[in-house]
């Protein structure tokens, strides 16, 4: 609230300046008789109004510059998050041991494409895509597309900024590796 006080003060000054100028113009236009004020007081009011308007222009410029800077920062953060998501996808795909074809299918599935759309894009049959998605779900330890996507969302939403740890390989993989 303390940071907003100067902005509020300048806004009030601008509102008073606008009221002064509009009431002065309207009283002249409609011929309202007002009690005359000294020329010194009128000059002070006009100088105050002009200063208020100048402050408003300067403040508007600063606020515009700040808004543009904040927008740039938000766009940069979005770009980084997008890159982080792709890195996360590649890390999980490697962790699950997906084949290149399964990686493509998984990426298309995460993007929300239907089985028919994926089959058309990959120039394969829908049966092949279904078999690949089932293999992806099995390797990822999920039962469907929504759970697959939720794995990535959970990783991105972690408060500590770290990704979930990779699980230990199953015992059968350890035996076959020896």
CA distance linking residue 136 with residue 131, whole number of Å: 9
Whether 47 and 115 map to the same domain: the answer is: no
Give me the average pLDDT of each 10-residue run along the chain (178 residues). Answer: 76 80 82 78 82 83 90 82 78 90 92 93 94 94 89 71 50 47
Residues 6+ apart with CB under 8 A from 3: none
- What is residue 1's DSSP assignment? -
Whether 66 and 105 map to the same domain: the answer is: no
State residue 45's pLDDT score: 78
Cα–Cα nearest to 97, from 144, 136, 128: 136
Whether 14 and 64 map to the same domain: the answer is: yes
CA distance linking residue 52 with residue 16, whole number of Å: 9
Whether 101 and 165 map to the same domain: the answer is: yes
**Tokens linked to 98:** 């997906």
Query: 92 lies in a domain?
Result: no
Per the structure, how many domains does the chain have?
Answer: 2
Range of the domain at 148: 97-177
Indicate the pTM of the whole model.
0.48
Whether 30 and 69 map to the same domain: the answer is: yes
Query: 85 lies in a domain?
Result: no
- For the chain, give me the number of helices (H) and strands (E)? 7, 0
Give the CATH number of the domain where residue 162 resides.
1.10.10.10
């Amino acid at each position: 609230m303390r940071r907003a006080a100067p902005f509020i003060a300048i806004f009030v000054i601008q509102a008073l300046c606008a009221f002064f100028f509009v009431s002065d113009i309207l009283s002249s236009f409609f011929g309202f008789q007002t009690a005359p004020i000294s020329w010194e007081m009128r000059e002070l009011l006009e100088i105050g109004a002009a200063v208020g308007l100048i402050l408003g222009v300067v403040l508007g410029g600063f606020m515009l510059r700040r808004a543009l800077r904040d927008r740039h920062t938000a766009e940069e953060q979005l770009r980084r998050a997008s890159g982080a998501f792709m890195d996360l996808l590649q890390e999980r795909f490697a962790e699950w041991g997906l084949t290149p074809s399964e990686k493509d299918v998984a990426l298309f599935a995460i993007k929300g494409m239907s089985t028919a759309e994926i089959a058309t894009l990959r120039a394969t049959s829908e049966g092949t895509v279904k078999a690949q998605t089932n293999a992806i779900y099995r390797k990822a330890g999920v039962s469907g597309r929504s759970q697959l996507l939720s794995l990535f969302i959970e990783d991105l939403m972690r408060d500590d900024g770290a990704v979930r740890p990779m699980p230990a390989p199953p015992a059968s993989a350890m035996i076959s590796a020896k």
